[in-house]
A and B are shown apart, each in its own frame.
Chain A
Amino acid sequence: MFRKLYLAYGFLVLGGTSFAQYHGWSLDRINQLKNVPKSVRDNPGSYRSVYGFYHHYTGGK
């Protein structure tokens, strides 16, 4: 019984992986916005990224 369950589970995992890959899913978190004004192309400064105040790493060991 465990083997049958595992087989079903395995096919589900493979199917899920194929689905995710085919539909272009990603493991990265990306912020999606809609209706960005066309003026950005002419005036890039008019767009403000939500990541604009990122505190970068400057250390090293």
Chain B
Amino acid sequence: MSAGTPPLSTLPKPQAKALNCPQCGAAITLRALGHAETVVCESCHSILDAKDPNLRILQTFQAIIGEVPPLIPLGTRGKLRGTDYEVIGFQRRGIKVEGISYYWHEYVLFNPYKAIRYLTEYNGHWNDISVCKELPIVQFATANYLGEVYKHFQSSDATTNYVLGEFPWQVRVGEHAAVTEYVKPPRVLSAEKTANEVTWSLGEYIYGADIWKSFNLPGSPPEAIGVYENQPSPVSENVKGIWGAFLAFAIFLLVLMAGFDLASSKGTAFESTYTLNYGEPKGEASFVTQTFDLEGRTSNVEVTTSANVSNSWIYLNFALINQDTGQAWDFGREVSYYYGSDSDGSWSEGSTKDSVVIPSVPAGHYYLRIEPEVDAKHAPISYSVEVKRNVTVPGFFGIAFLALLIPAIAITWRSISFERARWSESDHPPVQIQLGNSEE
């Protein structure tokens, strides 16, 4: 609260004055005596001249039966953005777009030492509105206010169709105003043009829960439906930051991969070449290699098999066996390579090389048991087996890259969807993407 502005709760109510409606005789309390231009009788809905000592009748209107009462009752006091206010007026306004009527509610907030503020509510979305201190500059579809650029959202003709309480202007049911709105979430800039004047106001999105807390209202606010024109996106602010973080992580991932690759032992632990001539193997095909050492900490082992297969295959049953502990890693690998040409052109399948990475192999003395299988009628096949220790597994880094990329894409997609939902209600709806044939 600013200095010199006593809270309403500490003030007596000398400004309030009890009067009677000249139309129906019901009691009327003037809460903003001296500030209100009009006051509406809650009983017969006559609009009365608050400046007139006899409360001259300005207009009578038939309230719609079943009209929703104000969510914040008139006379409710609360503290909004550090200032005490009292709700003194309520009106319902509406626009018609493509034959459909949309209504919102406006609450007039009064503090004798501050300018009038307003709260608006549409489908559970609230805005805290105040009159602009400077005149915005409108250029094409944008408005510049205090150095911030607002994008045009909607232009419509608003009609007041229900009023209650006091108003600091000559309110009338049925009065029209051309409303033009510009948005820069969480703010909205509105121009209301009547026959006599143009009023610019600035609104800031406020959550219903905050209003309920500010005015100490019972229960909970109505749930917000859909996306409102100046509703702040829960994710949009994060999109740039997340892509920045993704880029940093991706670079770090590359550095990490390069670091592991540099740190890995480049040497070959074992390498040998074997040949299967025509008709071989005969009988028992399996054999064991000489013993080789795998050194260092427990890490992976890569076994690479290369074979000069040509429109043929070789299958190798491998077992990497620890000579001392009897621990073994059993796996089968196929090397096959086929190629040719047909009506679609040349083709090829498979490869003459195959690699497999055995996980978490402790240091020790090892040998390989190899059992080759080949086609019964095969040309001589030469194959080599190479064993490497502690190799970099690019797959891990590929998975990590995807794991980092997917949330960034998901958040971006969510942000785009939110903005599409926002602008779909505007005069500038996003282009709809048509999938398949549209029906005429």
Question: Residues of A with Cβ closer than 8 Å to B?
Answer: 1-3, 6-7, 9-10, 13-14, 16-18, 20-28, 30-38, 40-41, 44-45, 47, 49-52, 54, 56-61
Contacts and interface: CB of A to CB of B under 8 A. Distances in A.
Contacts of A34: 326-328
Contacts of A47: 286, 319, 369
Contacts of A26: 300, 357-360, 393
29 contacts: A6-B407, A10-B246, A10-B249, A17-B256, A18-B256, A18-B260, A21-B396, A24-B361, A25-B393, A26-B359, A27-B357, A27-B396, A28-B357, A30-B356, A33-B327, A36-B327, A40-B319, A40-B321, A40-B369, A41-B288, A44-B369, A49-B371, A51-B330, A51-B331, A56-B313, A57-B334, A60-B339, A61-B338, A61-B349
Question: Which interface class (under 10, 10 to 19, 20 to 34, 35 or more) fits B?
Answer: 35 or more
B371 A23 contact: no
Contacts of B347: 61
Contact of B407 (A9, A32, A51, A54): A9
A2 B124 CA distance: 25
Top 10 A-B pairs, shortest CB-CB distance? A51-B332, A60-B338, A24-B299, A24-B300, A26-B359, A49-B317, A2-B238, A44-B286, A26-B357, A17-B400
A61 B327 CA distance: 40
A33 B330 contact: yes
Nearest to B333: A51
Contacts of A33: 319, 327-330
Contacts of A24: 298-301, 359-361, 390
B235 A13 contact: no
A2 B242 contact: yes
B408 A6 contact: yes
B399 to A, nearest CB: 8
A29 to B, nearest CB: 8
A30 B299 contact: no
B328 A32 contact: yes
Contact of A38 (B319, B326, B360, B399): B326
B360 A23 contact: yes
Interface of B: 234-235, 238, 241-242, 245-246, 249, 252-253, 256, 260, 284, 286-288, 298-301, 311, 313, 315, 317-319, 321, 323, 326-332, 334, 336, 338-340, 342, 347, 349-350, 356-361, 367, 369, 371, 373, 375, 390, 392-393, 395-397, 399-400, 403-404, 407-408, 411
Contacts of A44: 284, 286-288, 369, 371
B313 A58 contact: yes
Nearest to B320: A30
A42 to B, nearest CB: 9
A44 to B, nearest CB: 4
A57 to B, nearest CB: 6
A30 B358 contact: yes
Nearest to B329: A30
A1 B233 CA distance: 12
Nearest to B317: A49
A41 B324 CA distance: 12
A28 B318 CA distance: 14
Given A25-B360, A33-B327, A14 B256 contact: yes
A57 B334 CA distance: 9
